[in-house]
Structure 1
Amino acid sequence: MSKELSYTIEEVSQLLKVSKLTLYDLVKKGELPAFRVGRQMRIDAKDLDIYINSQKVNQNTKFYASEQENHRNHTKDPYNIVISGQDLVLDILGKYIEKSSPYKPLRSFTGSLNSLISMYNGECDIVSLHLFDGETRDYNLPYIKKILVGHEYILLNLLSRKAGFYVRKGNPLKLTAWSDLNRKDIKMVNREKGSGARVLLDEQLRINNISSREIKGYDHEESSHLSVASAVSSGLADVGVGIEKAAKIVGVDFVPLVTERYDLVILKTPQSEQLIGAVKDILSSKQFQAEIHSLGDYDISQTGKIIYETY
């Protein structure tokens, strides 16, 4: 491979047939070198070749394998952290963390539920969540208690924001409530399984006794708020579920239905004590809050509040 060639995390994920979070974990541990260009992580082709070759099994090279393991332990960087979630506020948080602490944030743009499972598996350090529970009408904590079993953690509020329907300009089909999804004259676009928007939709369908099998377009999945809003804007769908900010960016109308609490969860370990302190300081700082407030469409009245903490 050419020395000038490099790949994005997404491209390497497709080449190796592994998840992006697995690759972020390898980068975090120092096993796979990477560099950043703006927000994007890239991996040199030569470094990818070296990594692949180091993983090839050879029955007669036990000493080499031992040396590789020693090299991995030596190069592991505890200050590489993965922040998972899609909201642009997480990019701002990463910027503040990098400026005010020794940590080097990497970004994973993965949905809430899948990110939480990855945290359980040790692949994420900060996970953002907006998971609605229809039984308790609460956000995030019911899911955390079920998934992060055996772990100690802290749950901090990042912000609150509106979620609802993306509809075409003027809302020609007059879609105003979850029950409207049961109409036969509409086609929706959905989010991928494991995303907070998908969980919100499925919980609301259950509460309103609507069968997903009866909804035209339920199986049409997109992987971000922006792509859902764009599908509505282009006429591929009549309605989609997402957050207000994306509607304004794409240029579709927005029908607010809920105010969702968008939180951060961090595992409590001796190694993460400094990280938790840095995040708490950033969230409570007037400068950070003012920058988030200036973006519009975000409620920062609880930003930095400890929602829940295990001891």
Structure 2
Amino acid sequence: MKRNVYLNMKSIEAARQIMFDQFPGADESGAEDIDSVDALGRILAEPAVAALSAPNYHAAAMDGIALDAKLSFGASDDEPKILVSGKDAFWINTGHVMPEGTNAVIMIEHLNVIDSVKNGSSNGSSIEINSPAFPWQNVRKMGEDIVATELIFPRGHKITSYSLGALIAGGVFRVSVKKKPKVLIIPTGSELKSWQYANDNGLKPGDVIDSNSWVLGALCVEYGASFESHAIIHDEIEIIMDAVREATLSSYDMVFIIGGSSAGSKDYAKPVIDSLGEVFVHGVTMMPGKPLLFGKVNEKPVFGIPGYPVSAVVAFEQFAGPLLLKMHGLNPAAKQRETIDVVPARKIASKLGVEEFLRVKIGSVDGRFMASQLPRGAGSITTLTEADGIIRIPPHVEGIAEKEIVKAELIRPLAAIEDTVVITGSHDNTLDLLADQICRTRPGVTISSSHVGSMGGLMAIRKKTCHVAGSHLLDPEDGSYNISYIKKYLPGERVWLVNLVMREQGLIVAGGNPEKIKGLDDLKKKELVFINRQGGAGTRVLLDYKLKELGMTPADIRGYENEEYTHMSVAVAVLSGRADAGMGIYAAAKALSLDFIPVFTESYDLVIPDRFFHTEKIQVLLETIKTNDFKKRVGELGGYGTETTGEAILLES
């Protein structure tokens, strides 16, 4: 089949306007009557009018005596009044019906019973009062909260947990609500496998687990809709066409075709919609999500959702989601996120002509919210799960300068971001373990770590964009770690150097070591491919130091220029066969069942500016690393020593 060609790509605003214009009656969906107790989250299709008053009788609001207020007029400390219980005063408890002829309650603590109590009760006793009551004092009058026939909620109101109480108290036991829009999700692609298949049979190279159906289905629920997932359809246009035709002729209000929305020869979403109905937009100037398309089949909206996970989410949130809200009788902007001003930790490049949704981690450092960008890949769902917010870069902007203040939409609550420890620098597997251990013992404090190498971490401290830097920079002159670099690159900064772990660095090689690599000097074999860490990484500094000791140069190693940013990325490169060897830590090799050739034992430290050291969240971090539970878990990773974990020295450079 020939390749599709994008129609003229539209901006987000223009494409969204086309969508709403093509479905003007989307908010006129039908209604259904349901029990009020089942209406949480639903939208009223008709007004809710009270059938009962609440309360439906005059009720005492305090424990004490009920009386006709005028009997108390004139009472004072000098001239108290005496009432007789059962005659002109009636003992009453909170919530009870006021006796006929009474209109006030005097609290029990303001009474003085002056006659003896008969038979364990106060009936017939004389009661002294020293101040008058006014009419309806300490009484909940009939209809004080709700009056029968009054409007409780108008049509279009979203029922909350509080709303349920008002409806039931007002005698509204059935309500008319908007029907939930019903979505059919059709995953397509010959490479797709269900999670059940993957669980039972495993995956072979080229297989992809269908996670998009579940993500989009959950989003539909969050936006007030219900959903069903069609069985996975391979790249067969006739079967896809039959599924879409059947769905749009049945009870579904919207259809998603996942995958096949781009311009490849196996991308069938556009020809399917074109054949059955009309395509309105194919291609939107946004990243991720550019291949989005939508049209109409049998008067129903049909979306071609890109197959990359982040693209799918962005396409939903910008288009399908707002249309679902409109169908449900809500403002399409009802899901807009809170925004805050943030400062990028580094310059951010972007393309002109495309609005980019950049996922970022955010931390509060020195009174500023610092944003560090996550990888931009549209296929990396973890860039959403790890993100604290999203920076939208407009199509007319070519990048964001370092320290430029921009808006970020929050994915996580602001309070959680305030309690986040921002760690920048060298990667180590124990940082993930530390984050989990803190969540176990001190919920509320979290860790956000970004991996830019040891030198990058020290520069982040210098630029005041983090709380902590992870570092393992070897001084080849004296064999010490980090101290000389701190003095050189952080002049005048008081910092604490805290040991996190001692760890083994070495060569990560394939399981069974098929190339029989024994040490660094074997890397001179030209048939071997090496994977390196990025410039500025402590591991790179250590490698260069050891190469110099061996009389080797970078030119001796094939692949020296190939870089990764974490130890686990190096290990994956070896596991996948992209490289024969890479420099990294033992824990990374062990995690992926690879072989490891020890080269050096080094100190991995945390560098903490003194102004942060005594803050609550940093003290939580330091207390956690000293616990036996944390040290035990570190030991289970392999290749680590915790004998000096938690030891700290103050450096004044």
TM-score normalized by structure 1? 0.74
Matched residues in 1 for 2:651 and 2:476: separation? 23
Q: Is 1:162 paired with 2:501?
A: no
What does residue 193 of structure 1 align with? 535
Give, in angstroms, the shift of residue 233 of structure 1.
2.8
Letter in 1 for 2:430: V
Give, in angstroms, the shift of residue 42 of structure 1.
4.0
- Once the two structures are superposed, what CA deviation does each residue of 1:223-259 show, in whole Å capped at 9, x if it has no partner? 2222222222333322211111111222321111111
Give, in angstroms, the shift of residue 203 of structure 1.
1.4
What does residue 20 of structure 1 align with? none
Secondary structure at the counterpart of residue 213 of structure 1: helix
Letter in 2 for 1:120: R
What does residue 24 of structure 2 align with? none
- Cα 1:92/1:233, change in 2 over 3 Å: closer
What does residue 298 of structure 1 align with? 640
Matched residues in 2 for 1:168 and 1:94: separation? 29
Segments of structure 1 that go 5 or more residues without pairing to the other structure are 18-22, 57-67, 69-74
Letter in 2 for 1:165: L
What does residue 590 of structure 2 align with? 248
Q: Is 1:143 paired with 2:143?
A: no
- Cα 1:255/1:104, change in 2 over 3 Å: closer
Secondary structure at the counterpart of residue 176 of structure 1: coil
Give, in angstroms, the shift of residue 139 of structure 1.
2.1
Give, in angstroms, the shift of residue 79 of structure 1.
4.4
Give, in angstroms, the shift of residue 159 of structure 1.
1.0
Secondary structure at the counterpart of residue 132 of structure 1: coil
Matched residues in 2 for 1:293 and 1:280: separation? 18
Give, in angstroms, the shift of residue 260 of structure 1.
1.6
Matched residues in 2 for 1:157 and 1:245: separation? 18
CA contact 1:25–1:123 (8 Å) conserved in 2: no
- Cα 1:27/1:305, change in 2 over 3 Å: closer
CA contact 1:33–1:43 (8 Å) conserved in 2: no
Q: How does 1:272-311 map to 2 (within 5 A)?
A: 272-274=613-615, 275-306=617-648, 308-310=649-651
What does residue 90 of structure 1 align with? 431
Secondary structure at the counterpart of residue 532 of structure 2: strand
Matched residues in 2 for 1:31 and 1:124: separation? 8
Q: How does 1:62-101 map to 2 (within 5 A)?
A: 79-84=419-424, 85-97=426-438, 100=442
How many aligned positions are there?
279
Q: Higher mean Cα deviation, 230-239 or 152-161?
A: 230-239
Matched residues in 2 for 1:31 and 1:115: separation? 14
Letter in 1 for 2:432: D
Give, in angstroms, the shift of residue 163 of structure 1.
1.0
- Specify which structure has the higher proportion of helix: 1
Letter in 2 for 1:167: V
Matched residues in 1 for 2:447 and 2:361: separation? 10
Give, in angstroms, the shift of residue 153 of structure 1.
0.6
CA contact 1:186–1:216 (8 Å) conserved in 2: yes
What does residue 71 of structure 2 align with? none
TM-score normalized by structure 2? 0.38
Matched residues in 2 for 1:266 and 1:281: separation? 14
Give, in angstroms, the shift of residue 37 of structure 1.
9.0
- Cα 1:27/1:199, change in 2 over 3 Å: same
The partner residue of 1:4 within 299, 317, 326 is 317
Q: Higher mean Cα deviation, 256-265 or 246-255?
A: 246-255
Secondary structure at the counterpart of residue 48 of structure 1: strand
CA contact 1:133–1:140 (8 Å) conserved in 2: yes
The partner residue of 1:41 within 379, 387, 404 is 387
Matched residues in 2 for 1:118 and 1:212: separation? 28
CA contact 1:197–1:242 (8 Å) conserved in 2: yes
Give, in angstroms, the shift of residue 134 of structure 1.
2.1
Q: Is 1:133 paired with 2:475?
A: yes
The partner residue of 1:237 within 571, 574, 579 is 579
- Answer 1 or 2: higher relative contact order, Cα 8 Å, separation at least 6: 1
Secondary structure at the counterpart of residue 219 of structure 1: coil
Aligned-residue Cα RMSD (Å) equals 3.8
What does residue 111 of structure 1 align with? 453
CA contact 1:192–1:198 (8 Å) conserved in 2: yes
What does residue 222 of structure 1 align with? 564
- Cα 1:105/1:223, change in 2 over 3 Å: closer
CA contact 2:361–2:387 (8 Å) conserved in 1: no
CA contact 1:133–1:203 (8 Å) conserved in 2: no
Letter in 2 for 1:88: N
CA contact 2:363–2:418 (8 Å) conserved in 1: no
Secondary structure at the counterpart of residue 447 of structure 2: strand
Matched residues in 2 for 1:177 and 1:242: separation? 13
What does residue 369 of structure 2 align with? 30
CA contact 1:24–1:123 (8 Å) conserved in 2: no
CA contact 1:116–1:127 (8 Å) conserved in 2: yes
Letter in 2 for 1:91: D
CA contact 2:574–2:580 (8 Å) conserved in 1: yes
CA contact 1:81–1:103 (8 Å) conserved in 2: yes
Give, in angstroms, the shift of residue 154 of structure 1.
0.7
Give, in angstroms, the shift of residue 91 of structure 1.
2.5
Matched residues in 1 for 2:579 and 2:479: separation? 28
Give, in angstroms, the shift of residue 122 of structure 1.
0.8
**What is the percent sequence identity of the aligned residues?**
31
Segments of structure 2 that go 5 or more residues without pairing to the other structure are 1-11, 13-313, 319-336, 338-343, 353-359, 374-381, 401-406, 408-413
- Cα 1:182/1:277, change in 2 over 3 Å: same
CA contact 2:429–2:588 (8 Å) conserved in 1: no
- Cα 1:143/1:303, change in 2 over 3 Å: same
CA contact 1:153–1:266 (8 Å) conserved in 2: yes
- Cα 1:221/1:302, change in 2 over 3 Å: same
Matched residues in 2 for 1:116 and 1:105: separation? 18
Matched residues in 2 for 1:309 and 1:283: separation? 18
- Cα 1:257/1:107, change in 2 over 3 Å: same
Give, in angstroms, the shift of residue 38 of structure 1.
9.0
Secondary structure at the counterpart of residue 477 of structure 2: coil
CA contact 1:191–1:221 (8 Å) conserved in 2: yes
Q: Higher mean Cα deviation, 84-93 or 258-267?
A: 84-93
Secondary structure at the counterpart of residue 614 of structure 2: helix
Letter in 1 for 2:434: L
